[in-house]
Chains A and B, each alone.
Chain A
């Protein structure tokens, strides 16, 4: 009984220590992901465009980014580019994650756009809508519904990948866990609690994305 109470106290202490940094992790994930979505949409539109030079640029971009581990990209941007551009840890982290995820999201969005039947574009154009209007009102809204599930998976992956930036010293959830551990040397409890918090966030996110998916389903 005494042991149980002691154990619980330790866990509660760790939890209270970690709670203030949860917003940092969420902020990195959300801001990076929004930027990645914007970049990814641009990449996807370049890939489906009729201009060879756009297609090629987008293809090279995606292949290069997807071929390099995110951790190396973080090092490159923080230690390499960061020195030149004078980037702090937070902007460097956000930049690295958003670039990395834009390549994956770009491919997902492109596949979504290509999944829309050609007849939809024909109908839209026959109604006098131009290329931009067709994308904006007909193709993208339908593609959005198709890519929603894979995109929410990517967001969950992105949230977990924010732990990588702990390595350049940004004080997010994983970094705070390491701090706690090096102060009190309770490894099992610390990493159990860190893991539990990530798990709680990802489970909550999949619930939210499931809700959005049902809301926007085409019947």
Chain B
């Protein structure tokens, strides 16, 4: 379970997050939506300890996130980035084994077995042995998902995982996330895919200007949004 207690984060004069509080329960899938610049990325980066909030507190499974505990928490929390961020100097397989070996000190064979089965799970069994191969964006993102899953995290964070992908590739990646949802993985997904958010999420957070403007079930948010800004945002999305 993740507890976010009144956190704020500023970059110079820019407000990235202001007094954000929320609670993410085990096996719950939370979709974070909202205009760009609203603070979605910063919120996810804070949960992973990639940014430390200027005030307030985050705790993951009872451990309060600090510079010192960030390392422990990251083993429990996997993250998938908008830009994939695969390691270009490593093979597909090695991308998925490296953290297991370096962080968890697993033996090569063991790490490779885990990696193979994860790559199979994301539909890339034919890429396991390929080195220096050209991967499409969708394939890269699926490798990135396998890489994050390799440490067997309890929680997965997705930061707009499909916003750099064309529709065909988006489908591939969303299917992988859908399967994780079926397995009961706790997930927080920042996304512009409203249909997908509505379908898989138990809870929607609408963020704007660094705050959570509105929070509720998909039905509440999409069918009867209360807040002006939510209504305006959703009508714009639906129109285009």
A: residues with CB less than 8 A from B are: 117, 119-120, 122-130, 133, 137-138, 141-142, 145, 218-219
Contact = CB atoms under 8 A, between A and B. Distances in A.
Contacts of B34: none
B83 A126 contact: no
B71 A137 contact: no
Contacts, number: 61
B202 to A, nearest CB: 24
B132 A219 contact: yes
A125 B87 CA distance: 12
A123 B48 contact: no
Interface stretch (B53-61, B73-81, B106-114, B165-173): B73-81
B41 to A, nearest CB: 11
A124 B90 CA distance: 13
A133 B89 contact: no
A145 B89 contact: yes
Given A125-B74, A126-B50, A119 B103 contact: no
Given A128-B99, A137-B98, A123 B71 contact: no
A144 to B, nearest CB: 9
B102 A123 contact: no
Interface string B23-53: 0000000000000000000000100111000
A117 B88 CA distance: 11
B81 A141 contact: no
A72 to B, nearest CB: 40
B132 A128 contact: no
Contacts of A122: 45, 50, 81, 85
Contact of B74 (A126, A137, A138, A218): A126
Given A123-B79, A126-B74, A126-B81, 17 more contacts: A119-B81, A123-B86, A123-B87, A123-B144, A125-B74, A126-B50, A126-B78, A126-B79, A127-B98, A127-B148, A128-B71, A128-B74, A128-B103, A129-B99, A133-B103, A137-B102, A142-B89
